[in-house]
Every structure is written in C-alpha cells, then in structure tokens.
Amino acid sequence: MAVILVVEDEIFTREIAEMMIQDWGHQTLSAGDVDEALLFLRSPRHIDALFTDIYLKTAVLGGCELADIAIKLRPGLRVLYTTGNFVTDKMKALFVDGKHYLSKPYTEQQLHGSVDQMLAA
Amino acid sequence: MPVSDIAASDIVETVPSALLVLDRNLNITSANRAFYQTFRTSADETEGCLIYDLGNRQWDIPALRTLLESVIPHRASVEGFEVEHDFPTIGRRTMLVNARKIFRPGDHDGFILLAIEDVSEERAARKESNRNWQLTQSIVDTIRDPLVVLENDMTIVTASKAFLTIFGITQAEAHGRRVSELGQHQWDVPALRHLMEKVLPENKPIEGFEIEDDFPGLGRRVFNLNARKISQPGNHAHRMLLVFEDITDRKQRERDAQTLTNEISHRIKNNLQIVVGLISYEAKWTAAPCVQGYRAMQARIGAIAHLYDLISQSSRGRTIAVDAYLGEIAKAVSASLGNQSGVAILVRAEALEIDPDRAVPFGLLVNELATNAIKHAFPGGTGQVVLSVERIGDEIELTVADDGVGMKEKTLTKLPEKRGSDYVAIFVRQLHGTLTVSGAEQTGTAIKVRLPLLLVPAGGAEPLAA
C-alpha cells in the first residue's frame, strides 16, 4: 500500500478524495497549498505519490510548480495532476515526465483507475 | 527614296506642328497648313500681318511678347516655351512654342521660325489625372486603417496619412521602401512575404494575416493584414493595395472573454466535483443495489461537465464540436468501466458543431444510450460500442450501435432499462428527434436518433433553429 500526498485547496473535495484513497487501502497526507505540501516533501516522511490540483488558491499553475520541486526533492516520485481547467498542450508541456492527469469532475472509479495506473507505472 | 531627297516644303506641309516664319519686325512671312488648320485661319489673313494683329489681335499675348521681344533677341533658339491663352475662335489653348533664328547667306536681319504645338488636350488630361489622384489620396487619407499601395517589386508607391502617422514616417521616407524594411523589420515575416509574392502574379488576395509584435512608439499591437491586386483600366502595370487593420483592442476583448470563459468553466467544474463528491459520499453509506444509480448520476454530471472543456476550446465560444464531444463522453464512459474492461467504445463522427443550448440534452442522450448498451449488450464482458454522428440531408443521425447479444423481438419496442429509457425519451423529445431501434438476437443493437438540423457544419454560420 502506498502513501499519497493529496494537495487540493477545496477542503471538501480533498477530504472526499482522501476518503476514497484510504478505502482502497492507501495512506494519505493532506495539504491545501504549495507551502503545506512542501513541508511534507522536505520532511523525512515516506511518500510514494503526489496527487495535486493544478490551480492552487492564487497560484494558477501551483500544482505544476509543486510537482517540479517535488521531483527534484524526491526523484522517482509518482505524480497525478487534476484540474477543472481544460488541459492545453502548453499546460501538458509543464507536466513532469511520466505524468498522469485526471479531469474534474472525477468519479470514484475514475480516480481509482488513475491512482492504480500511476502506482503501477 | 532617302529622306534627304524630299523637298523641305513637303516636310513643312506634312508635320503636325504649326509652323510660322516671322521677319525681324515680327510680321508673318509664311505659315504651314497645320497652323491654318489648328488656328482656323488662312494664308490671306496671315501672311504679311504683324503676329500680334493676327485674327483681331488674338495673338497679342503677353507671354508671346515676352518670348519674341525679350528672349529671342538674346538667344539663338528657345525650346518648350509654354503659352496658355484664351482664343476667341478656338477657346482656351495651351501651346508649347519652339523658336529658332534663321539666317540666310547675306541676310543679316534673319527670320524667326516658330513651331507651335497644341498640348491643350495632354495638359487637360494631366490636370484631370492630378485631380483624380488628389481625390483618391483624400479618400485614402480619410480611411482610418493604415494602407499602402505597392509596386510590383513590393516597394511603397504611396501611403495613407494613417499609415504615416502610425509608423512615424513621412510620405517621402515611405516612398520606394519595402514594407519589410519598416520599423524594426516586424513585417519581415517569411509567411507574409510568401503570401505577398502571390498577390500580383496569381491574383490571390491576402485576407486576415495576423501579426502581433512590439512596434516602436506604439507598444504591443496586433494587425490584421489584407492585400489585393489593383489595376487601372488601360494600364498593364498592376499594383497591390495593402491594408493594416489594427485589431489590438478587439483581440484583447476576445482574450478577456476567453479568460472569463475559462475561469467560469473552471469554477463550474470544481463545483460539479463537489456534487460528484457528495454523491460518492452518499454512495459509500448506501446499500449495494442503489450504488449503481448513484454512479449513473455521476456519469450524467460528467457528460455535462465535459461541455465546459469544449466551450473553452471553441474558437468562436458559441458552438461545440460534436466529434470532440463524443470523444470526451466515450473517454469518460470507458474510464468508468475501469482498466480491465473488455468493452471498447469507438467514435465515428463527422466534423459538425452543435449550439451549446442543445449540447446538454445531446450529451446526456449519448451518455444514456452508451451506458445502456454497456449494461445490457455484453453479458460476457467483451464487445464494442460505436458512437457515430452523420448528416443526412436536413437531418442528423446519431447512432449508438453495439455488437452484443441483441434484443429479443418483444423488447425491441421497449428499451431495456426503465428509468434510462425515460431519460432517453425526454432528451429525444427535447431535441425534437425520433428514435428507432434495430437489431435481433446475436446481431447487436443499433439505436438511431434522427434530429432536425440543429447541428451545423464545422466553421458554418449561425446554427439553424430546430
């Protein structure tokens, strides 16, 4: 079972996502913005994957910037992006290698499929 | 016969210029036929007469007096002396006068030969041409959009006031320069050069070529370029009219509207995520038989949500690309089946666009039919569902076909899942369509929905009302 850092500024959406992920047997860490997420990423805690919203509070591409730093801090970290925006090619170019992304609104099955794919990659 | 053998008198009578010979007292000693014809006079009235007295003193012209009394005495010849005069008999005339002193051997007084060419028509045509040019230039100057006229070699012949103002140059500085040399060479764009080179030889206009750049003194600007060949009747030379439409403000408004659309789409989708999350939470505490209903509800919400992605992508912001929309729905339905599913969903759609008002029932209809097919057609868990849309005359046909077990004869008239079929019936009614079901056991099922032409071809005009 994996440890997944869930970064989402909308608290209800984040908690429901965490609830689903925990139901599948994983452990979650919870952050509402880039700074909170970096505290976990810079700590010695074990983290397998990052599941992050792209638009975080005022940071339009906060999730992309966070993933860039996260990969530098923890090479090999798996990343799954989510966003309510249309994912343009310009945005995809900012994704880290081996990216996965999931459009909002996502259902439980869609999140389950994406998380499994990300962890299996 | 060599020209030198022709008698001088024959030449004098043949040339079109009016010729006059005057003695030292300015009396006319002779004139040629062209003179008599041009000035409607005769040898009797002319010969021996003082030039100023000719034809009731018609020739007593101040300019001619200046030539004969002040210029000729000091010079052997004069060429191109222009005299403009109102002749009572022949009206206003402009004449070019060449004069030469002629001396015969032993004759010290000599004669004056005047060659008079009537250039009235040529001068009038030139004046008319100048007036036309000034009129054209004043029209050009009142056009707000900067424009230039280019020669075959792409150099500027003339530029409008708006053009000169915008680029901070004078007409003289613009003349003879190439557009690619202007400013900081912002117009030196290979694609534009390529298009401009085709305007004259191939008579291929340029329409709506956009250039966005920083222009000195103007800041960041977006220009829309239009060019076409212009020809003057009777003139084989062709020129190019190049118009620069400043669309900076319009472009900014479009970008603001796009940003707003994206922002609204983003918020709506985040809110729909909350709704989907609420349903997930409810489903978690609900008895297993009801979970399927919650999931179907989430898929329906997903079908609506995908519209907002497509609205963001739509260049016109008004219509939805049907092929892309079917693709998104297919992707979402596939994702809901999970990675291990043996059911494939394919899309075969013509490039059509649908207006956003009808896109919601259309998307929900497709979602419902696809979900029903998956639910009932494949007890073995494998097969394929094809979503297709094609235009047939004045109608559009949506087909959701599967290669599954097919329906029993008696159920053909009645769709399998009660609530799903209720939804299907509502959406078909909402779209003013008609539904037919075909297929038999083991041959799969095809559900076809004929809709009025509420879809428009990609890039078409306003959607037609149903």
Q: What is the pLDDT of residues A50-107, one digit of tens each?
A: 999 999 888 878 999 999 999 999 999 999 999 988 887 888 888 877 678 898 999 9
Question: What is the average per-residue pLDDT within B91-116?
Answer: 84
How is domain A3-120 classified at the CATH fold level? Answer: Rossmann fold (3.40.50)
Interface of A with B (CB under 8 A): 10, 12-13, 16-17, 19-20, 23, 55, 83-86, 103-110, 112-113, 116-117
- Token digits of residue B226: 């239009």
CB atoms B335 and A13 under 8 Å: no
Give the nearest partner residue to A107 out of B262, B265, B302, using CB atoms.
B302
Per CB-CB distance under 8 Å, the chain B contacts of A106 are: 273, 276
pLDDT value for B416 = 47
3-state SS string for A16-57: HHHHHHHHCCCEEEEECCHHHHHHHHHCCCCCCEEEEECCEC
Of B190, B212, B246, the domain-final residue: B246
Instruction: Give the domain ranges of chain A.
Output: 3-120
pLDDT value for B460 = 47
Look up the domain containing B43 and give its range: 3-118
Of B94, B118, B142, the domain-final residue: B118
Q: What is the pLDDT of residues B366-393, one digit of tens each?
A: 999 998 898 888 888 889 999 999 999 8
pLDDT value for B248 = 92
- On whether residue B370 sits in a domain, the answer given is yes
pLDDT value for B462 = 44
| pLDDT grade for B317, boundaries at 50, 70 and 90 | low
Per CB-CB distance under 8 Å, the chain A contacts of B266 are: 55, 83-85
pLDDT value for B376 = 85
Does the interface predicted TM-score (ipTM) exceed 0.85? Answer: yes
Per CB-CB distance under 8 Å, the chain B contacts of A19 are: 281, 284
Whether residue B257 sits in one domain with residue B234: no
Q: Which residues pair with B384 in a beta bridge?
A: B344
pLDDT value for B408 = 66
B 417-446 → A contacts, CB under 8 A: none
Decide if B240 contacts B230 (C-beta within 8 A). Answer: yes
pLDDT value for B390 = 92
pLDDT at residue B229 greater than cutoff 60: yes
Q: What is the pLDDT of residues B248-294, one digit of tens each?
A: 999 999 888 888 888 888 889 999 999 999 999 999 889 888 888 89
3-state SS string for chain B: CCHHHCCHHHHHHHCCCEEEEECCCCEEEEECHHHHHHCCCCHHHHCCCEHHHHHHHCCCCHHHHHHHHHHHHHCCEEEEEEEEEEECCCEEEEEEEEEEEECCCCCCCCEEEEEEEECHHHHHHHHHHHHHHHHHHHHHHHCCCCEEEECCCCEEEEECHHHHHHHCCCHHHHCCCEHHHCCCCCCCCHHHHHHHHHHHHHCCCEEEEEEEEEECCCEEEEEEEEEEEEECCCCCCEEEEEEEEECHHHHHHHHHHHHHHHHHHHHHHHHHHHHHHHHHHHHHCCCHHHHHHHHHHHHHHHHHHHHHHHHHHCCCCCCEEHHHHHHHHHHHHHHHHCCCCEEEEEEEECCEEECHHHHHHHHHHHHHHHHHHHHHHCCCCEEEEEEEEEEECCEEEEEEEECCCCCCHHHCCCCCCHHHHHHHHHHHHHCCCEEEEEECCCCCEEEEEEEECCEEECCCCCCCCC
Give the nearest partner residue to A84 out of B273, B283, B301, using CB atoms.
B273
| pLDDT grade for B235, boundaries at 50, 70 and 90 | low
pLDDT value for B466 = 33
Rounded to the nearest integer, the mean pLDDT of chain B is 83
pLDDT at residue B5 greater than cutoff 80: no
Give the nearest partner residue to B273 out of A105, A112, A117, using CB atoms.
A105
Whether residue B296 sits in one domain with residue B420: yes
pLDDT value for A31 = 96
The fraction of chain A above a pLDDT of 70, given in percent, is 99
- On whether residue B382 sits in a domain, the answer given is yes
Instruction: Work out how many domains chain B is built from and give that number.
Output: 3
The fraction of chain B above a pLDDT of 70, given in percent, is 90
pLDDT value for B369 = 92
pLDDT value for B461 = 42
Q: What is the pLDDT of residues B104-123, one digit of tens each?
A: 777 777 888 889 888 888 88
Whether residue B59 sits in one domain with residue B167: no
Residue B363: which CATH number? Answer: 3.30.565.10
CB atoms A117 and B339 under 8 Å: yes
| pLDDT grade for B365, boundaries at 50, 70 and 90 | very high
Least confident among A1-10, A28-37, B188-197, B375-384: B188-197
Q: Which residues of B135-160 are buried (b: 16+ CB within 10 A; e: fewer)?
A: eeeeebeeeeebbbbbeeebebebbb
Residue B104: which CATH number? Answer: 3.30.450.20
Question: What is the average per-residue pLDDT within B181-210?
Answer: 83
- On whether residue B350 sits in a domain, the answer given is yes
pLDDT at residue B465 greater than cutoff 70: no
| pLDDT grade for A114, boundaries at 50, 70 and 90 | very high
Q: How far apart are the first and last CA of chain B?
A: 89
Q: What is the pLDDT of residues B398-446, one digit of tens each?
A: 999 999 888 765 454 555 445 557 889 989 998 889 998 887 667 789 9
